[in-house]
């Protein structure tokens, strides 16, 4: 039973920073794609950042490039999203996602991901 648990969401002022964490269990962590998505009510889920566990390139949406950093701790089965220079438009529910099939290349495509966490709210004012 795969479980992804996000934490670290909070309310912050514009210009501030947050670090989100996603702990995976029941999952063989190596060589999978893991990603962060975000969503506002009534809007489509948007890919923010992706990384391959065990090593590989990272991917970012244009809206967060240079401000957000995705990283992993393979020993802890955990992926992080370091968010800096936060803007009000970063306000959303943030979701962690993981694939099941170890694709050749990771990306921010929504249909690449099979497992989802419950989300953690980030509010920037």
Burial level of 83, CB count in 10 A (0-12/13-18/19+)? buried
**pLDDT score recorded for residue 33:** 93
**pLDDT score recorded for residue 103:** 80
Burial level of 52, CB count in 10 A (0-12/13-18/19+)? buried
| pLDDT tens profile 54-105 | 888 999 999 999 999 999 998 999 999 999 999 999 999 999 999 988 888 8
**pLDDT score recorded for residue 121:** 98
Task: Give residue for tokens 């996000």.
Answer: 6
**pLDDT score recorded for residue 59:** 96
| pLDDT tens profile 4-41 | 999 999 999 999 999 999 999 988 778 889 999 999 98
């Amino acid at each position: 039973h795969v479980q992804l648990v996000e934490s670290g969401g909070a309310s912050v002022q514009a210009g501030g920073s947050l670090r989100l964490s996603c702990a995976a269990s029941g999952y063989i962590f190596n060589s999978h794609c893991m990603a962060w998505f975000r969503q506002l009510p009534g809007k489509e889920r948007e890919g923010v950042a992706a990384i391959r566990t065990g090593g590989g390139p990272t991917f970012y949406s244009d809206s967060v490039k240079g401000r957000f950093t995705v990283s992993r701790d393979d020993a802890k089965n955990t992926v992080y999203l370091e968010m800096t220079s936060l803007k009000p438009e970063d306000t959303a529910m943030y979701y962690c996602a993981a694939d099941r099939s170890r694709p050749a290349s990771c990306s921010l495509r929504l249909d690449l991901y099979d497992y989802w966490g419950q989300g953690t709210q980030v509010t920037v004012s």
